[in-house]
A and B are shown apart, each in its own frame.
Chain A
């Protein structure tokens, strides 16, 4: 801490020096505590997983078997399920969220903004299990009888939309997660778009741009980085989503090209099988899946941060 030297220096009182000191150290301790917590989670997961790591090695990540009876375990179908369902969720939620945010900032009458934002934030307050229940009893029958049939009829030439339709499926899981990450993507996009300076828009209008061109040139490209950050936050939530997903995704550890086939995610399998895992190797394999989930989350976030940095060439201060 540097002290400013003026002609008549005024020394701080001892009580405010103490509060400065305390503030510095408490803030420091809080930051260190969070780092320590993450390190603790990682080491505990590793300790629990070491049996499986020793037995299966790196092949664990490439194996598709999950057989508790013969004690053969592999993480590949779960990694596939987690990444695919999160990707589907992003593809649905990000355009929807950004479009909603654009509507609220540019097109909506100002009186509508608060009610709509309140409703979207309430969506975030609904517990995961309730979404799952709604998914099982309302979404899946509708998907099975209407949307999936339509997709199969119109887009059935793609391997994505072939195969038998059960109802619980990877696509259903992706849709549920999209609904759950929609609030976070929308609210953050809204804040980002609101922070675009009015000068940018006015400059574009002055050059003769149409409304859409203003949005595209002045607003969206200015806010690109922030919107990408919003998508990453949504992805982070999507990767960890457990209860709602496990109720609609079908819980079958298979890798299939079809979106109508059931799938399984890392978080779901741990939630489902942890309490009844009787043998040490089984438990250890589940711990290792937890470790893999942590690693996947960290890798995805790191990759996203790199992409954001590389996009930042012509960016101004956020």
Chain B
């Protein structure tokens, strides 16, 4: 009996030693979780000596953990503020990975594709436009019969990068929104009720006739919800899609530190309500071995990983941005 126990313990210890992989921890946004999971999975085939562990606890959590240095990289749908960055023990780099679109989805009889412009959307969410057959909406949709129905606004009850992108857009098209509500991952909504998560909002829209809300493109597509064409700054009504989001990325003004907003960009066919998600890494890595593996992974992600983005309904970075990001990745010291 004792011999059996001893040999079992020995084999367990040896097995443990053989699997001495490096573990790199990350935490943050829920929006890019599917694409990051895919990347970590595929990268394990490229380099089996390192394993990535990502916890999708939310952008806020990601920012807090990277500041506290409890994780090796963070992820956030909204860029960190100057105040937060000042609290960091070292310089944190924002590395954009993929982009997504927020669509305005609704539930009215017939599921027509509506055309809406920025100020109309803002007024609906401010609670100033209360009926579907309001002249502001009817004027942009001449061929559509709009019902004489109350508009029920659905928004997010939890804090989210999706909300950040949407309120960023509304702040840029409506001065009243900017002064009374502002942009953040969680705001004080003037109208409507909240549902939890993109799934919650999509579910509520499906269940409530006359409702309108905002969700990530992937959720509207999966739930077969109709969504609106939004008027961009060039005056064209653009259908949200991966192509129009990539065009928005290409047209966005991207400063050197990569903290940018891409709502309402100038491109002709660019979709106005889109946003990017970032990885947060320290420029000076604490652990040399982990730092090296992390940089190798990032290089792989930008050379090969980006190609997997569109299958999962994310817009990959256009080449102009991608090459700039690769240059920035090369500056990470370890």
Report A's interface with B, CB cutoff 8 A. 65-70, 136-137, 140-141, 144, 164, 166-168, 246-247, 250-253, 262, 268, 272-273, 275-278, 282
Contact = CB atoms under 8 A, between A and B. Distances in A.
Measured as residues with beta carbon below 8 angstroms from the partner, the interface class of chain B is: 20 to 34
Contact of A277 (B159, B189, B208): B159
Interface centre among B58, B183, B192, B196 (most CB of A within 10 A): B196
Interface string B168-212: 000000000000011111111100111110001001100110000
A247 B204 CA distance: 10
Contact of A68 (B63, B186, B193, B208): B186
Given A141-B207, A144-B208, A251-B194, 12 more contacts: A68-B184, A68-B185, A136-B200, A167-B207, A168-B195, A262-B193, A273-B157, A275-B57, A276-B159, A276-B160, A276-B186, A278-B63
B159 A275 contact: yes
Contacts of B64: 278
Contacts of B208: 144, 166-167
Interface in B41-74: 57-61, 63-64
B134 interface: no
Contacts of B63: 278
Contacts of B207: 136-137, 140-141, 167
Given A69-B181, A166-B152, A272 B196 contact: yes
Contacts of B150: 164
Nearest to B63: A278
Nearest 7 CB-CB pairs, A to B?
A276-B159, A251-B194, A275-B58, A251-B157, A250-B193, A69-B182, A276-B60
A251 B193 contact: yes
B199 to A, nearest CB: 10
Classify the interface of chain B: helix, strand, loop or mixed.
loop
Contacts of A250: 193-194
Contact of B158 (A141, A167, A262, A276): A276
Nearest to A144: B208
A251 B208 CA distance: 16
A247 B158 CA distance: 11
B237 to A, nearest CB: 29
Nearest to B210: A166
A276 B196 contact: no
Interface of B: 57-61, 63-64, 84, 150, 152, 157-160, 181-189, 192-196, 200, 203-204, 207-208
A246 B193 CA distance: 11
Contacts of B59: 276, 278
B332 to A, nearest CB: 24
Contacts of B61: 275-276
Contacts of B160: 276
B187 A67 contact: yes
Contact of A247 (B58, B188, B196): B196
Given A68-B184, A136-B203, A252 B194 contact: yes
A255 to B, nearest CB: 14
Contacts of B185: 68, 276, 278
B189 A273 contact: no
A135 B233 CA distance: 41
A70 B182 contact: yes
Nearest to B58: A275
B88 to A, nearest CB: 14
A140 B203 CA distance: 12
